[in-house]
Amino acid sequence: MSRALAKHPPAARLLDVEAAIRRARRVESVVELIGRTPLIRLRNLEPRPGVEIWAKAEFMNPGGSVKDRPALQMITDGVAAGRLTPAQTLIDSTSGNTGVAYSLVAAALGYHCVLVMPENVSAARKQIIQAYGTEIVYSSGMEGSDGAIKLCQELVAAEPARWFYPDQYSNDSNPRAHYLGTGVEILDALGDRLTHFVAGVGTSGTVMGTGRRLKQERGAAVQVVAVEPDDALHGLEGLKHMGSSIVPKIWRPEDCVDRIIAMPTDEAWDVAERAAHEEGLFVGHSSGAGLAGAIRLATELPAGQPACIVTVLCDRGDRYFTPLRWEKHYEW
């Protein structure tokens, strides 16, 4: 018998399908499905009794990632401020997930979208983005996300009236989405039991917005931990090594971050694999980095000290596969 089954017999983990169906809601637009994602207890990754590890299942957003939240917030805030009009085109740089989110929200709300991406971003993300009707402009793969930022800024400077440029790395609506949503949802679910929040750093919106909300509500009772790659040449797509990158303007760790963990690529990849094998959660490597950070915290705690640690599952692992290209015409 497997370790997971020995600890938790199937009969003890049956789902109430009827209750789940009753909780389903009717919505007017796909964007109304963004947020309110579930928390999943990861009992098989917990190192000892008394330490709980929970994960926010952000892959259950309609665009498949945590980036749906800031994309919707930046677009709706832009419309409300008069910065985005029907005559303008949304443009931003992205390494993938925010691009999918922009594309979904823009399509649902009736806006045209152009994205600047490094040419070596995974084929899956390119094809998903194009499926929404978004146009992609490719930057040098050797320059990574920083090269995409620079090229996007050049395009905007050349035709400023044409574009709505939310700039996810500098836009306070990015962390605001998590301040208003993610942080509130975690507190509603776990309340005073929460002791730690762990998230990877890309744009830094997730850790900054969620961290501010948690600190506002719980103060020093909650530790906020940011995870970044330990080296400039890393394999954690979507995360930034701050010492070698253009630092996002919204990254202000002094506001709420108690600790920064430098994460090796191998450790994050190994934990992502464990999540699939031991919890049935096939997630991306940025999720693996957050999970690895949570496990490190759990193992470092003094013996007997209880803890309730929350991290973020940013997206699914199948986003990193190369799918079959969609074809409009077939020969039978």
pLDDT single digits (tens) 78-106: 999 999 999 999 999 997 899 999 999 99
Q: How far is CA 124 from the centre of its chain?
A: 17
Does 125 fall in a domain?
Answer: yes
**Choice among 14-18, 112-116, 163-167 with the minimum mean pLDDT:** 14-18
The label of the residue with tokens 């020093």 reads: 220
CB neighbourhood size of 171 (10 A):
23
Q: Residue 137 sits in a domain of what CATH number?
A: 3.40.50.1100
In a domain, 159, yes or no: yes
Tell me if 327 is assigned to some domain.
Answer: no
Please give the residue range of the domain that contains residue 139: 68-164
Same structural domain, 148 and 208 = no
Same-domain status, 202 and 284: yes
What are the tokens at 171? 């836009």
d(CA 284, CA 273): 9
Q: Which of 114, 141, 164 is the last residue of a domain?
A: 164
Give me the pLDDT at residue 123, please: 80
- Residue 11: the pLDDT is 45
| pLDDT class of 28 with cuts at 50, 70, 90 | very high
Is the domain of 190 the same as that of 281?
Answer: yes
Dig out the tokens for 316 from the structure: 């699914």
> Has residue 10 got a pLDDT over 50?
no
Same domain, 246 and 306: yes
Domain-embedded: residue 48: yes
Mark whether 19 and 101 lie in a shared domain: no
Residue 281 belongs to a domain: yes
Question: b or e along 143-169 (b: 16 or more beta carbons within 10 Å of the residue's beta carbon)?
Answer: ebbbbbbebbeebbeeeeeebbbbbbb
Domain match, 115 and 50 both? no
Residue type, 223: Q
In a shared domain, residues 92 and 139: yes
Average pLDDT over residues 280-289: 96
Active site residues: 67, 286
Residues 299 and 275 in one domain: yes
Alpha carbons 152 and 166: distance in angstroms, whole number: 11
| Residue 330, in any domain of the structure | no
229, 242 Cβ separation under 8 angstroms: no
Domain assignment of residue 305, yes or no: yes
- Please write the tens of the pLDDT for every residue from 51-83: 999 999 999 999 999 999 999 999 999 999 999
What DSSP assignment string belongs to 40-67?
EE-GGG-SSTTEEEEEEEGGGSTTSBTT
Q: Are residues 79 and 58 in the same domain?
A: no
Residue 323 pLDDT more than 70?
no
* Number of H-type helices and E-type strands within the chain: 11, 10
Clarify whether residues 222 and 316 are in a common domain. yes
Whether 183 and 240 map to the same domain: the answer is yes
How many folded domains does the chain comprise?
A: 2
Tell me the sheet residues that pair with 117. Answer: 138
pLDDT value for 198: 98
Neighbours of 332 (CB within 10 A): 2
**Considering 124, 146, 164, which residue would you say is the last residue of a domain?**
164
Whether 169 is covered by a domain: the verdict is: no
Domain end marker among 164, 193, 228 = 164
1 has pLDDT over 50: no
Alpha helices in 160-244 (DSSP H): 173-177, 183-190, 205-218
Asked if 200 and 284 sit in the same domain, the reply is yes
